[in-house]
Amino acid sequence: MKREARIIRALLRLYPKTWRQEYGPELADVLSHRPLSLRIVFDVVWNGAGQRVRDADPAMRMGVIVMLMVLTGVVWNVTVPLSGGRGVAAVLQDSSKTLPTVVVTALASDLYVLVLVACGCWTHLRRGESASRCGIAAVKLGAVAGMPVMFVGILMLVGIVHLRIVGPGATEATMAEMGLTFTYYTTRAHAPSALTVFTAPLFRLPESWIWGLVGGGVGRAIRRTQVGSWLKTYDS
């Protein structure tokens, strides 16, 4: 019985705090009066994950979406080291900026800037947060989105993944030939280090705060309109 009680408590922890306060005792009572089969545990875990998603703030929701996009690019880069010159596997791009130059394409695009602005705007419309808090929400989004790149940087630092530098006209390679290799395409003489790869998303966070701040201002302007009232009602 003590073992089942510990399992039930662990399962309840999968749900958001507000949900547990309202429905937790009821769910615990139901689970304590029936065998904890694999199907029941799976249902509880699945529903808990769903409640977490519904309860998550805009920054976390949008951050996870962007993170999955970046993760797809990173996995593609490692599994398909190069395909046709620059290739779709060149997830990293070179830049003339003085800050660390390795950035993930998805995190360096104009679309990503719009995502940060939208995050700040949505945060204000949903919770009425200040512009500064909207900027912090955008930083949270950027931190979540950059996790795959930072993880690759850690794997490079410990020697599990190797960095491969290629230029125009590079020949195609396979993962079987290259092993776990992250491909960096550049036409310049300099090349990034593993530490640069790891820190690249961190250097984007101040910029994320600025765009989130802008989004909060946009949300404040929208909130004063009829559209803002409708969005707030729909989101709640």
Enter the pTM of the model. 0.65
**181-185 β-sheet, strand order:** 103-104, 92-93, 181-185, 162-166
CB atoms within 10 A of CB 162: 13
Q: How far is CA 85 from CA 53, 74, 113, in A?
A: 40, 18, 28
Alpha carbons within 13 A on the beta-carbon side of 187:
6
Domain ranges of the chain: 2-54, 57-235
pLDDT of residue 91: 38
Burial class (CB in 10 A: 0-12, 13-18, 19+), 208: buried
Q: Which one-letter amino acid corresponds to residue 236? A: S
Low-confidence stretches of the chain (pLDDT beneath 70): 1, 80-109, 166-179, 185-191, 226-236
pLDDT of residue 112: 85
pLDDT of residue 125: 83
